[in-house]
Amino acid sequence: MNASLAVPASPPHTLSRLLVMLFAFCCGAIVANIYYAQPVVGLIAADLHLSAGSAGLIVSLTQIGYALGLLFLVPLADLVENRKLMIFTSLVAAVSLLLAGLSQQGGVFLALSLLIGFSSVAVQMLIPLAAHMAPEHSRGRVVGSIMGGLLLGILLARPLSSLVAGHFGWRIMFMGAALVMLGIIALLSLLIPRRLPEHRASYTQLMGSLLTLLRRYPLLRQRSLYQALMFAAFSLFWTAVPIELMQAHGLSQSQIAVFALVGAIGAIAAPIAGRLADAGHTRRASQVAMALAPLAMLIGVSQPGASLWGLALTGILLDFAVQMNMVLGQREVYALDPASRGRLNALYMTSIFLGGALGSALAGMLYQSFAWSGIALAGAVLPALALLLFATKR
């Protein structure tokens, strides 16, 4: 089967700096949807009379929905007109967020959580579109800048949700997010250029080609594994650190929200990584990123490292390393087959979020059994394994 099921119907457009900033903003605003519920699960559960076990499903279902969207919706970017696809998925996300904010039953909210995650994947269609539009010599810089916006959305969603819910209630956060999505839809409609791939396959053939791509490109498999291990450490840290801050340092919900802002500093890694990749330093920069992540986590093993300053330093360095490696990997993956960037991105990002789900699942168990030192050691082992695997490849 030919993996190149769709090709660009027109040459790449020129990406202005304003359009790059727009792409970055849209990515951050859309990806934030899957993190708004995380810091306010307790408030939602109490309001909707959910048990502790059911409340834990809120975050899990959102992440599962996002993974399903990555796998089943994002590949469509290689088959149907991109702008129309992004507008449709964003509209579904807006409606889902609004209904979640109005819901009165726990079961309905859980179902909507799955749908919010599933429909918030337009961000992973925007990034390949930007890569298609950018010239080769600046593609890394463009992707890096947009990924910086995505990481800011991930890191700022939690503190924003905590602050809004603390002052106005959790429902206002979801309703406000729905309004933001309507604004995103307007921006996509007015400013994002159309891209119509040539229709050369059915959806079934398109999905079948995912396995073909995975078999064909060893680099795709390798980069997906490296970043999955890195993102597992990222999720492990950011899932466990609010518990550590509350139990060991006595921080309130608002104070934890402020602490989460320190991680946003790591977003500067994205444009740096893009420029390094454009200059031909991908391998060396990857080594630095994969070495920095375990070192950042090992800070927490010592007593000073478990202090507020130590935890903040770990968060900044870890976010920097994870973001850098993600952008470096994306640039290499996108270069494999320009006509298949939607599917390549779907495979790459699905692997990453599976790693993130693993890290989140391990966090509670490790913290309960081994406290923060267990989190720090496990978080160091995961990226160290990625570095070891990377060192064995030419």
Instruction: Collapse the DSSP code of 41 into the 3-class scheme (helix H, G, I; strand E, B; otherwise coil) and give the result.
Output: helix
In angstroms, how far is CA 374 from the centroid of its own chain?
A: 25
Q: Which of 135, 104, 81 is nearest to 112 (CA)?
A: 104
| Torsion sign over Cα 179, 133, 137, 123 | positive
Average pLDDT on 180-207 reads: 84
Contact in structure between 344 and 352 (CB atoms under 8 Å): no
The amino acid sitting at 245 is L
CA end-to-end span of the chain, whole Å? 28
- Give the helix ranges, DSSP H, for 248-307: 253-260, 269-278, 282-298
CA 265-270-271 angle, to 5 degrees, is: 110
| % of the chain surpassing 90 pLDDT | 36
Which residues are CB-contacts of 372 (< 8 A; sequence separation ≥ 6)?
A: 240, 244, 248, 300, 306
CATH topology (fold) of 209-394: Growth Hormone; Chain: A; (1.20.1250)
Does the pLDDT at position 176 exceed 90? yes
12-200 — its CATH code? 1.20.1250.20
Residue ranges of domains in the chain:
12-200, 209-394
List C-alpha distances in Å: 172 to 17, 36, 97: 33, 11, 10
How far apart, in whole angstroms, are the C-alpha atoms of residue 358 and residue 229? Answer: 9
Q: Which pLDDT tens digit goes with each residue over 298-352?
A: 998 877 767 888 999 998 899 889 988 988 998 899 889 887 888 898 899 888 8
Listed residue (106, 92, 111, 110) closest to 30, CA to CA: 92
Q: Is the backbone of residue 169 left (phi > 0), alpha (psi -120 to 50) or beta?
A: left
Write out pLDDT tens, residues 341-388.
888 988 998 888 888 878 877 887 888 889 899 999 999 999 999 999
Distance CA 108, CA 99 (A): 9
Same fold, 12-200 and 209-394: yes
111 pLDDT above the threshold of 50? yes
Which tops the pLDDT comparison, 7 or 74? 74
If you write DSSP's letter for every residue of 332-356 in order, what string do you get?
Answer: HHHTT-GGGHHHHHHHHHHHHHHHH
Residues of the chain with pLDDT > 70: what percent?
Answer: 93
Angstrom distances, CA of residue 167 to CA of 161, 181, 278, 358 = 10, 22, 45, 33
- Give the per-residue pLDDT at 9: 43
Instruction: State how far the Cα of 340 lies from the Cα of 181, in Å rounded to an integer.
Output: 27
